[in-house]
């Protein structure tokens, strides 16, 4: 092979990184690149790219790729003992400084071995990687560039989607802020309106009560003045008669005919306070509003904002498997809590049904399975209903007491004194009439009763041998009767208007005992 066929026509040196252009002529890559760079600098507006040998023109600057065959021939000629000065030619030195060489053979890494996943020289490709899957570095680069282009498109699409999501999320955050602000305003307006309406109705009702009080007391005080005048007249007549008794006979006889008992009409002494009857619709609405605000709204807010049940007292209850009201005890007194309102109760034996046996200083009532005992008749006794009242009665204030029930078959609550005592059937039972309120303890479910209306309580009883402990808080002025399970977890609350003295009471099933806990 002639030496000139392995030399570049521009630098006249042996090829180093030979590159073939579209016309078929081959030059050193650096030489042809510098040739075209100079033409671009000389005529930047009308540059023409041509072959330095045949002067063929190209419409655009051709891309340069390595002529691998000439590279191999050139390297082989250099290894066979070419002119030493060729090894140090400027073209070769330039390439050596810019191209990676095989550390073992000091040859360019022209081939990519897919098995080894690395670039190798021609010598390594023919020996160590002889049977491996190999391609030219340029081809592998093209493949990798195609893959990178595809990944670039995917990344661009992902970026565009992300930017679109950012835009949508930004818009949604703005909408959410507006919505939350509107919701907050709506809630505030509703609460403010309700407070305003309640204040207006409170003023109107108080005005009505004050007017009724003024009229009633004015009438009663007028009757009182009439009675006082009558008493004064009668006192004067008594003194006059006493004076006549000291007169001589003939004068007493004569003057006594002048004494007459005055004919005075009866003056009513009853003060009929019927304001509550006139306000019955109002008190009924207030009771329902109190329940809605103190119970239903409380549960709704609890469900909305959530509640941390960890370390809740209900988790420590051994008997009641209930889901308590979210409301915490309404009345607290420092560390004492409900204990600040504890009171001492005892059962009234005059009211106890004949099937009930009282013991432990009338603090325990047991329903005997042997049948009724002989007991003296009394107007206060429940003849047909398995009930007993307590001695104590309440007309004001707050009072808390607890009791233990041996088995879940009882009704516990409060009642007016006028509850039926001699009637048969359910009308005399606690909670089955308008005169009483009760919580029914049942193995399946807790239930609240008033006026014969049943309201389920979220919870159920577990059939265990240990007693069931129930607490009750009566707030007479507020019109609430609240039930608590073990650990003072609130179960249920009645909201009403109390108008008479209230007695704690129990209905006790057969074989069941109820014990009043000491304060």
pLDDT at residue 325 is higher than 80: no
| 503 Ramachandran zone, left/alpha/beta (phi>0; psi -120 to 50) | beta
Place of tokens 């650096």: 30
User: What per-residue confidence (pLDDT) applies to 430?
Assistant: 97
268 and 491 Cβ atoms separated by less than 8 Å = no
In terms of Cα–Cα distance, which of 517, 518, 513 is closest to 406? 513
CA distances from 132 to 52, 119, 127, 340 (A): 40, 12, 10, 92
Strands 436-442 and 446-450: antiparallel
Residue 78: band (very low, low, confident or very high) from pLDDT cuts 50, 70, 90: low
User: What per-residue confidence (pLDDT) applies to 450?
Assistant: 95
Measured distance CA(321)–CA(442) in Å, rounded: 12
User: What per-residue confidence (pLDDT) applies to 306?
Assistant: 64
CA atoms in the 13 A half-sphere facing the CB of 397: 9
Mean pLDDT of the chain: 83
pLDDT at residue 334 is higher than 80: no
What is the per-residue burial (b if ≥16 Cβ within 10 Å, else e) of 473-487?
bbbbebbbbbbbbbe
Residue 343 burial by Cβ neighbours in a 10 Å radius (0-12, 13-18, 19+): middle
CA distances from 228 to 218, 221, 271, 379 (A): 15, 10, 17, 38
Measured distance CA(274)–CA(281) in Å, rounded: 13
Measured distance CA(107)–CA(72) in Å, rounded: 10
Contacts 24+ apart (CB under 8 A), 58-61: 58/21, 58/22, 61/36
CA distances from 296 to 289, 301, 312, 448 (A): 10, 9, 21, 15
DSSP letter at 88 equals T
392 and 382 Cβ atoms separated by less than 8 Å = no
Average pLDDT over residues 338-365: 96
In DSSP notation, 307-364 reads ---TT-GGGG-SSEEE---SPPPS---TTSGGGGGB----B-TTT--TTEEEETTTTE
Structure tokens at 259: 């004494």
pLDDT tens by residue, 400-411 = 999 999 999 999
Average pLDDT over residues 40-69: 82
User: What per-residue confidence (pLDDT) applies to 318?
Assistant: 32
- Degrees, nearest 5: CA angle 105-108-113: 90
Measured distance CA(231)–CA(234) in Å, rounded: 5
Q: Which of 90-94, 158-162, 187-191, 504-508 shows the lowest mean pLDDT across its residues?
A: 90-94
Average pLDDT over residues 163-189: 93
User: What per-residue confidence (pLDDT) applies to 494?
Assistant: 93
> If one looks up domain 1-90 in CATH, what number appears?
3.30.40.10
User: What per-residue confidence (pLDDT) applies to 42?
Assistant: 66
pLDDT at residue 376 is higher than 80: yes
Of 48 and 56, more confident: 56
Class for domain 313-516, per CATH? mainly beta
Place of tokens 């904002």: 305
pLDDT tens by residue, 386-400 = 999 999 999 999 999
Number of residues assigned to the chain: 519
User: What per-residue confidence (pLDDT) applies to 153?
Assistant: 94
pLDDT tens by residue, 245-302 = 888 888 888 888 888 888 777 888 888 777 777 888 888 888 788 878 877 787 788 7
pLDDT tens by residue, 108-142 = 998 999 999 999 999 888 888 889 999 999 999 99
pLDDT at residue 315 is higher than 90: no
pLDDT at residue 432 is higher than 80: yes
Of 99 and 85, more confident: 99
CA distances from 169 to 322, 463, 465 (A): 42, 54, 58
**How far does the chain reach from its first CA to its final CA, in angstroms?**
122
């Amino acid at each position: 092979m002639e030496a000139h066929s392995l030399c570049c026509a521009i630098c006249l040196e042996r090829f180093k990184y030979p590159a073939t252009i579209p016309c078929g002529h081959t030059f050193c890559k650096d030489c042809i690149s510098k040739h075209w760079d100079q033409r671009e600098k000389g005529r930047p507006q009308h540059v023409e790219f041509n072959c330095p040998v045949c002067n063929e023109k190209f419409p655009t600057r051709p891309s340069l790729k390595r002529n691998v065959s000439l590279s191999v021939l050139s390297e082989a000629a250099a290894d066979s003992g070419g002119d030493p000065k060729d090894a140090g030619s400027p073209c070769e030195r330039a390439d050596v400084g810019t191209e990676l060489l095989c550390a073992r053979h000091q040859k360019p890494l022209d081939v990519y071995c897919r098995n080894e996943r690395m670039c190798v020289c021609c010598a390594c490709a023919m020996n160590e990687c002889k049977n491996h899957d190999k391609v030219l570095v340029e081809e592998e680069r093209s493949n990798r560039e195609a893959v990178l282009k595809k990944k670039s498109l995917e990344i661009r699409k992902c970026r565009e989607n992300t930017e679109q999501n950012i835009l949508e999320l930004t818009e949604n955050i703005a909408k959410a802020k507006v919505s939350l602000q509107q919701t907050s305003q709506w809630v505030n307006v509703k609460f403010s309106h309700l407070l305003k309406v309640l204040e207006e109705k409170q003023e109107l009702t108080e005005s009505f009560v004050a007017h009724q009080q003024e009229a009633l007391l004015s009438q009663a005080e007028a009757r009182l003045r009439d009675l006082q005048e009558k008493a004064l007249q009668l006192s004067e007549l008594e003194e006059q008669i006493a004076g006549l008794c000291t007169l001589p006979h003939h004068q007493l006889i004569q003057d006594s005919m002048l004494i007459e008992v005055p004919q005075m009409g009866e003056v009513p002494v009853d003060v009929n306070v019927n304001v509550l009857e006139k306000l019955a619709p109002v008190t009924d609405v207030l009771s329902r509003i109190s329940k809605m605000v103190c119970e239903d709204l409380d549960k709704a807010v609890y469900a909305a904002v959530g509640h941390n049940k960890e370390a809740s007292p209900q988790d420590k209850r051994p008997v009641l498997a209930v889901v308590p009201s979210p409301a915490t005890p309404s009345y607290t007194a420092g560390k004492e809590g409900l204990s600040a309102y504890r009171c001492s109760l005892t059962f009234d034996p005059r009211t106890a049904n004949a099937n009930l046996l009282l013991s432990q200083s009338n603090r325990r009532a047991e329903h005997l399975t042997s049948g009724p005992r002989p007991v003296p008749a009394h107007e206060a006794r429940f003849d047909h209903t398995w009930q007993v009242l307590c001695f104590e009665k309440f007309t004001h204030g707050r009072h808390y007491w607890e009791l233990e029930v041996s088995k879940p078959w009882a009704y516990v609550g409060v009642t007016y004194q006028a509850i039926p005592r001699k009637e048969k059937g359910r009308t005399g039972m606690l909670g089955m009439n308008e005169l009483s309120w009760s919580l029914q303890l049942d193995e399946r479910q807790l239930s609240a009763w008033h006026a014969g209306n049943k309201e389920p309580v979220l919870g159920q009883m577990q059939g265990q041998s240990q007693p069931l402990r129930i607490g009750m808080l009566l707030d007479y002025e507020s019109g609430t009767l609240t039930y608590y399970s073990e650990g003072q977890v609130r179960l249920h609350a009645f909201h009403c208007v109390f108008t008479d003295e209230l007695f704690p009471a129990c209905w006790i099933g057969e074989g069941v005992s109820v014990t009043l806990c000491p304060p």
